């Protein structure tokens, strides 16, 4: 069982900037992403259940995934699911989007 790696915003941003194999994944709801999202992130709502798993299965397992939600709980859950599905590298943004201090893009 792979453990979930929680990164502070500082570590997340620093690591992401140096990672050429990174994908940023937003697992919040449609309403939540209406408040903005981290630039260049892809959106797959974890509340979609099997739809979430089906969408995750389409992603490249060789990439490094930086996952976030509103506060860090659902994204930790998403990392756990991804790890079970064979993704080797997932990072959870501690504090989630609600504590994000960086750049924000509109959907």
The rounded distance, in Å, linking the Cα atoms of 104 and 40 is 10
Indicate which residue of 25, 46, 69, 79 is catalytic. 69
| 79 has catalytic annotation | no
| β 22-26/64-68 pair status | parallel
Strand order in the sheet with 5-7: 5-7, 89-93, 64-68, 22-26, 41-43
- Could you list the active site residues? 69
């Amino acid at each position: 069982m792979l453990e979930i790696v929680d990164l502070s915003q500082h570590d997340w941003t620093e690591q992401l900037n140096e990672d050429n194999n990174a994908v940023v994944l937003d697992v919040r709801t449609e309403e939540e992403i209406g408040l903005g999202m981290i630039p260049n992130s892809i959106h797959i709502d974890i509340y979609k259940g099997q739809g979430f798993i089906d969408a995750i299965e389409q992603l490249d397992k060789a990439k490094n995934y930086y996952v976030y939600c509103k506060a860090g709980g659902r994204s930790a859950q998403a990392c756990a699911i991804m790890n079970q599905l064979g993704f080797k590298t997932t990072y959870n943004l501690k504090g989630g989007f609600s504590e994000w201090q960086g750049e924000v893009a509109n959907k």
